Amino acid sequence: MNLKNQVKDRPKTALITGASSGIGYEFTKLFARDGYKLVLVARSESKLSQLAEDFREKFGTFVRVIPVLSLVSKTSCLP
């Protein structure tokens, strides 16, 4: 097996920011359809959670949700 085949056979993971709407959402659909594991980042935790549930059911894909507010605390921005 050559290197090209080894890379092709590895599980693929996509990190998508802005996944709950617009272009991010469209990329999320494409990657899910193609069998990628998904790591989804956006500001709306409720939209992300619903999106993850829908894609797990429809595509059977692994989905990890990371709301932006969990990355940066609001109070950490204060002086």
pLDDT of residue 1: 47
**Most confident region among 27-31, 41-45, 73-77 by mean pLDDT:** 27-31
Supply the pTM of this predicted model: 0.72
Burial 5-23 (b: 16+ CB within 10 A, else e): eeeeeeeeebebebbbeee
* 77 vs 66, more confident: 66
Q: Sketch out the chain's domains with CATH numbers.
A: 10-68 (3.40.50.720)
d(CA 25, CA 8): 25
